Structure 1
């Protein structure tokens, strides 16, 4: 047989659509799995066109090369002591990353597989098939790498364990990812996972993390994240052409709601993981920019460009989001550090004299707001009264994002400091923000009934009803983590002691 050149066969093989005659569109693409067709003619989906075109042969060759590179680097590093020399704060960052991301990467393959079967366009289904393979690989490699580090630190067992526990952070991540792709239809997954979450957040985050890892000296993690990011950049392209078809066919409002819901939900979990890592866990000498600067330069600018180019609007809560860049992750960091027995890594306080100067420079007013709280903690730590830096009970948790409710350190930044409330089905639900309440109110049947760790505690489902009982219920994160990453060296710093 004659061998065809790539241009001669590519479009035919990646776009094999056909008109259904034996079954209806709804039978082949049931709304529960494919998503509402919004009355868009089937032929409109034939115009779906991904910007990143790839054949199966090219895909396999590229992936083999990536795996060869990643595992070769790992093999070489395993014979050295580089990881032992990495900063304790950076170790906290990657331990948190593995526990929160490894299993969800595998779960994302379910969402990709759903698009590979129920995506309305053949080209979309073709791209999602590659995405299914991508996410399977990402789950496997991000379980293998931390498994090899178990001999150095038992926290890396939580890369696999976290999502099989009731630890509050794992519950928050599960709640988000189930909403985004595990229990989502194909259309929603394309808009909410590949456009909003991957294109808007994680693709650029992985670029930054890979660079930071190399600066810190964690070559192994840098190589791993780089190999994943290139996959993300490709299969994340499924969202934009899907969004274009919705907007072009008069369904902008429906597309806008999908984006608005998941942008806020993504921001919440992204802030928890990346905000803490960038501004507190990464060694000061290796910080290229603050978390706020990163968000402004990469995330916000990218979304603003995309919204404008696609004819979309910024989410209605945009001003709230911009305001939170100044304070929200600082509150999360203080809370995670204080409730550190509830997490599987050792949070790095990151508030030594030099770090505080940097935080004040990047976030003017930090010392007068968050710094005052850390002053009290520092004084107790310096006196050796460590029990005063530990919790005696549990915080209030948002019934939508499943993250403890945070309010600004300066009450003047927010009119209402009480939780936002909704009554539904005879139950009272508490929320950390107006957008979280709005998301719940948009579709209460999807979110009602779920209980936070605190809800379960108050309902008597956690026994004994003590902090120790709650920690055991969470899977015992304090048995491997939950200590200050630097063993309070920052509090004993003579410079700090002389200025407080």
Structure 2
């Protein structure tokens, strides 16, 4: 076979289904693990993966990627790139590594489930390489920040975050566990590889790589580009699976999986990518706003993919697009105000120049979010920093595990969307979050947000200090302003007199 072109033998080699003789087909592929939904094997054998590669080709290409990423890292280690990097960008790295690194290992387990229980031979083949991809991604994103730990202990949270009860880690685990750690092979193909990776993480890595180049962080740019090319390949596992589901009368079930996965993924994407692009990235290096980026890649690109597959847009699509204008701004306010509760130093990103940029990109920003920042700035100018620090925890959404928040100021629209279920009241950030819960209450009903745990007595003492200890945040790890409040000095002068009056 080594003497033949891949096209001459690939289809024969991957046709590895068989009729078991010692167990039943249902025992070998139980539906709870395969998620085949009663579609016969012969239909799954029509699965046609868009990326076809052999193991020798895969190893050769991955070796080249690793060599390139590690070579760039080694070459730049002797430079002062870390010391010369804007603190806001370093905070992006800390947040990214902590939220994503161990999530890659979780995705490896999800890919392994498709390898074992996928009904389609082509799916099992692609998932095998996807499993190796995710293992590689986890290793890279733990190894690269490890060198920084001696310089800044917050980088240790690349490994630590997902082992703690920090609220952001809880939110990430809750989403990942839902979408690909507790699902069948077919559900994983749709919810992880199609919705999360095609629609969001692949897009996020494209944006991160571009921003890294702009700020001169070529180590991170090389790393993320290396990962993104893997993501773009194994993210294609879900498309052919959706084709088979739809062709065999399972469009309703497929649509629901996609709608739930997009809704859940959007919250984390909005939190991480939105705040990074519009606040933490130095203004001189911003090529476009988060809203422009989301409209180009999520709306224009992903929307077309959904329609081409024969699916409908999620029922909440217009509402989600409306959130491009405000949700990540609200999260940014929460991240900065509750900065002691995160493992990175959030950049405020609201110098006068930044505010002009935000007003241009998001007309009305100064009359909504700007009014909250005005109060924060006034307190900082008058030396009342303690008034810009939290004393308790915010109300959290029982779906996303993130704060319930929206537009303040003139455009106020902050609203709780409660639901009473089996004697317990649940709180949600939007109709979308509440709808996800209603699709499978048994799956979600018993989970406790950080605030639920505080009220249930799990956190002692039941105050902010007790919560910080519960979250595993030690002195030197708790977040503070990325620029040590130096940005506030740009408001001294006439503005101070006016605000003080």
Q: Same fold (TM over 0.5)?
A: yes
Give yes or no for contact 1:134–1:231 (8 Å, CA) kept in 2: yes
Give the aligned partner of residue 279 of structure 1. Answer: 278
Matches within 5 A, 1:311-330: 311-330=310-329
Give the aligned partner of residue 470 of structure 2. Answer: 473
Matches within 5 A, 1:388-427: 388-409=387-408, 414=413, 417-427=414-424
The question of 1:3 aligning with 2:15 is answered no
Give the aligned partner of residue 48 of structure 1. Answer: 47
Distance 1:93 1:302 in 2: 25
Distance 1:411 1:114 in 2: 49
Give yes or no for contact 1:100–1:170 (8 Å, CA) kept in 2: yes
Cα offset, 1:209, TM superposition = 0.5
Cα offset, 1:6, TM superposition = 2.0
Cα offset, 1:451, TM superposition = 0.7
Give yes or no for contact 1:172–1:403 (8 Å, CA) kept in 2: yes
The question of 1:30 aligning with 2:27 is answered no
Give the aligned partner of residue 214 of structure 1. Answer: 213
Aligned mate of 2:434, from 437, 458, 462: 437
- SS of 2:115's equivalent in the other structure is helix
Distance 2:415 2:275 in 1: 25
Distance 1:453 1:74 in 2: 38
Give the aligned partner of residue 300 of structure 1. Answer: 299
Q: 1:59 to 1:492 in 2, by over 3 A?
A: same
- SS of 1:112's equivalent in the other structure is helix
Cα offset, 1:481, TM superposition = 3.4
- SS of 1:12's equivalent in the other structure is helix
The question of 1:166 aligning with 2:165 is answered yes
Matches within 5 A, 1:37-436: 37-409=36-408, 414=413, 417-436=414-433
Distance 2:474 2:48 in 1: 46
Cα offset, 1:300, TM superposition = 1.1
Cα offset, 1:24, TM superposition = 3.0
Give yes or no for contact 1:162–1:170 (8 Å, CA) kept in 2: yes
Superposition TM-score, scaled by structure 2 size: 0.97
Q: Which runs of 5+ in 2 are unaligned?
A: none
Distance 1:337 1:328 in 2: 14
Q: Which runs of 5+ in 1 are unaligned?
A: none
Aligned mate of 1:486, from 473, 483, 486: 483
Cα offset, 1:117, TM superposition = 0.6
Cα offset, 1:113, TM superposition = 0.1
Give yes or no for contact 1:342–1:477 (8 Å, CA) kept in 2: no
- SS of 2:156's equivalent in the other structure is helix
487-496 or 216-225: bigger deviation: 487-496
Give yes or no for contact 2:368–2:410 (8 Å, CA) kept in 1: no
Q: 1:403 to 1:478 in 2, by over 3 A?
A: farther
Cα offset, 1:254, TM superposition = 0.3
Give yes or no for contact 2:331–2:405 (8 Å, CA) kept in 1: yes
Q: 1:126 to 1:393 in 2, by over 3 A?
A: same
CA RMSD of aligned residues (A): 1.5
Superposition TM-score, scaled by structure 1 size: 0.97
Distance 1:12 1:410 in 2: 64
Cα offset, 1:407, TM superposition = 2.6
Give the aligned partner of residue 16 of structure 2. Answer: 16
Q: Runs in 1 of length 4+ with deviation above 4 angstroms?
A: 410-414, 494-497
Give yes or no for contact 2:153–2:476 (8 Å, CA) kept in 1: no
Q: 1:496 to 1:259 in 2, by over 3 A?
A: farther
Distance 1:166 1:99 in 2: 13
Give yes or no for contact 1:341–1:478 (8 Å, CA) kept in 2: no
Number of aligned residue pairs: give it: 497
Cα offset, 1:465, TM superposition = 1.3
Cα offset, 1:39, TM superposition = 2.6
Distance 1:358 1:32 in 2: 50
Give yes or no for contact 1:168–1:474 (8 Å, CA) kept in 2: yes
Q: 1:497 to 1:109 in 2, by over 3 A?
A: farther
